[in-house]
Amino acid sequence: MNKIGIIGGGFSGLMVAYHLIINSKSQITIHIIDDNFKNGKGIAYSCNSSELILNVTAGKMSAINSDPDHFLNWASKHADYINTEKKILSNAYLPRNFYGKYLESIWHEINTIAINNKIIIDVLKKNAVDIDKVNNDFKVTFSDGNTETYSSCILSTGNQPPQNPTVFNQEILQSNIYYQNPWDEKIYNKINNKLPILIIGNGLSMVDTVIELKNIGFNNKIFSLSPHGYNILPHRTNDVTYEDIKIEYKILNNISLLNVLKLINFHRKKLRSLGVSAEAVIDAIRPFSQEIWRKFTINEKRIFLNRLRHFWGVARHRLPMQIHDKIQNYRIKNELEIIAGKIIDANVINDEIKVLYTNRITNENSELIIGKIINCTGPEMNYSKCDNKLLLNCIRKGYIQQEDLNLGINIDVTSFQVKGHNNQIVKNLFTLGSSLRGELWESTSVTDIKIQAESVANIILKNNTIHYPLSNQ
Ligand SMILES: Cc1cc2nc3c(=O)[nH]c(=O)nc-3n(C[C@H](O)[C@H](O)[C@H](O)COP(=O)(O)OP(=O)(O)OC[C@H]3O[C@@H](n4cnc5c(N)ncnc54)[C@H](O)[C@@H]3O)c2cc1C
């Protein structure tokens, strides 16, 4: 059999399909399985609003590693930007739904190539709920009870919705006042302007949610509550390149947490003394972040997670300046209040939720009466606690195993095949993207995933060639 099942049709699944189709020399069949398939746009790039902006400049958003200007060239031919100078376009933060159109164009392109090369590519708008290994193949069961069998399977299932706050009772969890998934479109269906909205979390999804709420005309107050209430930083530099840290990193004898911190701190101070944002240091070290993470001991990873992950998050996940300004203006006008604190109790009373929280700064308890709560605390990385039946069944059957620090699942990093029971590689069962936070730490951006997608496709084609030599075609 030469049939490949890609479970999840966002950027990760699309780009695996792309490399399979353009490189396959044999007649393969590909199924993209996704009940929410949107022509490869996935969750991040299928938004309606043009005010939701990429957090990376256009020049760095190519979906194809071997063609770094692929997106830029596509964008510069598009009617919206045909008159924009390429250098300016390269440094611009473009709308995420425009990037979605780019991914859609790749989707259409691969469909045409597939027809010409007699490759079958089908979309199954279904939810995969289970996998069984049958000899060397994988039988995938869908929620409607039907099954399909594949010689290779890819788990490109993306981010899982965040964990529910432990203080929330069943009444809250089952109410239509609370939204566990910040990407649930139903959030914006029924908006009650009479009561404020509480967003739990203070990261990029909080920003998205605020902007969407404002777009649809929500005019009551928005609270964002998170343990630290850090300010989100803007991108300050576009064109500053800083090589010194790279040179010193490369001659670092011992890549330990302490040494890396010392290195970053030294260069951060050096740039600061020149009046330059420390962002350039983070950008320069970013290409090595996976290597650094892999060299840390488990203890160093724990220390990083407990004490430093929030600082790294703030330094890394910056906002385009125009979005940052918007958020700051909402704060100045008191339409958005960012609170550092912890929810200690919450109860539904009629159509409202009464939330009691402790303020981290004053240590006092305060109460909020809220019309809607949206959970933006970040994706659940402990897959044994997520709601995705497929992933839960894979864990139960020992096909995948939770990573030691509960940051996704274990893989063989040279082949992207998952490691199951007893750390054994499960041949031809792959994963990529956000499931690899534990193995690679940085594994959610286009920059990371495009390389992984190409590797996964190449390994599948190599394995398939072994089973199906070209001479048999
Ligand atoms: C709001 C947002 C903005 C972002 N902005 C940027 C940016 O500007 N630049 C950047 O580089 N990165 C950005 N990212 C990172 C982003 O994660 C990646 O760029 C990429 O979109 C991830 O794609 P994915 O295919 O891995 O996941 P997703 O897009 O989440 O796709 C996963 C798909 O799997 C499907 N699925 C899951 N389980 C099953 C199942 N059991 N059966 C069938 N289907 C299933 C889901 O329906 C979903 O469609 C952003 C992420 C988010 C969430």
H or E, element range at 119: none
61 CA to centre of ligand 1 in angstroms: 15
H or E, element range at 197: strand 197-200
- CA angle at residue 446 from 442 to 447, to 5 degrees? 65
Could you tell me if 135 and 412 are in contact, meaning their C-beta atoms sit under 8 angstroms apart?
Answer: no
Please report, as a single letter, which amino acid is at residue 147. Answer: T
E strands present in 211-362: 222-226, 336-349, 352-359
| Pocket of ligand 1, beta carbon within 6 A | 7-13, 33-36, 42-44, 54-56, 127-128, 156-159, 208, 388, 390, 433-434, 444-447, 449
User: Cα separations (Å) of 183 from 146, 153, 170, 205?
Assistant: 28, 26, 21, 8
Exposed e or buried b for every residue in 55-71, given b needs 16+ CB within 10 A?
Answer: bbbbbbbbbbbeeeebb
- For helices 204-215 and 321-332, the axis angle rounded to 10 degrees is 70
Q: What are residue 366's DSSP bridge partners?
A: 357
| Sign of torsion over alpha carbons 266, 294, 397, 158 | positive
Torsion over CA of 274, 278, 284 and 290, rounded to 10 degrees?
Answer: 160
Q: What CATH number does the domain located at 170-233+319-375 have?
A: 3.50.50.60
Residues of the chain with CATH 3.50.50.60: 3-53+95-160+380-472, 170-233+319-375
Of all protein residues, the one whose alpha carbon is nearest to atom 14 of ligand 1 is: 445
464 CA to centre of ligand 1 in angstroms: 27
251 backbone dihedrals φ, ψ, rounded to 5°: -100, 10
Residue among 62, 125, 446 to mutate when testing ligand 1 (max atoms within 8 A of CB): 446
Of all protein residues, the one whose alpha carbon is nearest to atom 17 of ligand 1 is: 444
**What pairing do the DSSP bridges indicate for beta strands 372-375 and 178-179?**
parallel
Q: Give burial (CB, 10 Å; 0-12/13-18/19+) of 334.
A: exposed
158 CA to centre of ligand 1 in angstroms: 5
Could you tell me if 94 and 242 are in contact, meaning their C-beta atoms sit under 8 angstroms apart?
Answer: no
Exposed e or buried b for every residue in 23-44, given b needs 16+ CB within 10 A?
Answer: ebebebbbbbbbeebbbbbbeb
User: Cα separations (Å) of 63 from 33, 78, 106, 185, 320?
Assistant: 21, 17, 9, 26, 20
Q: What is the pLDDT of residue 237?
A: 66
Residue spans of the chain under pLDDT 50: 466-473
User: Cα separations (Å) of 34 from 126, 182, 291, 313, 431?
Assistant: 5, 19, 32, 30, 15
Exposed e or buried b for every residue in 209-244, given b needs 16+ CB within 10 A?
Answer: bbbbbbeeebebbbbbbbeebeebbbbeeeeeebee
Q: What is the pLDDT of residue 472?
A: 31
Ligand 1 atom having least distance to the Cα of 41: 29
Of all protein residues, the one whose alpha carbon is nearest to atom 34 of ligand 1 is: 8
Taking alpha carbons only, the member of 146, 145, 128, 131 closest to residue 397 is 131
- Give the right CATH number for 3-53+95-160+380-472 from 3.50.50.60, 3.10.105.10, 2.40.33.20, 3.30.450.40: 3.50.50.60
Please report, as a single letter, which amino acid is at residue 50. Answer: S
Q: What is the pLDDT of residue 473?
A: 27
| Residue in the block written with tokens 């998050």 | 313
Exposed e or buried b for every residue in 103-115, given b needs 16+ CB within 10 A?
Answer: bbebbeebbeebe
205 CA to centre of ligand 1 in angstroms: 13
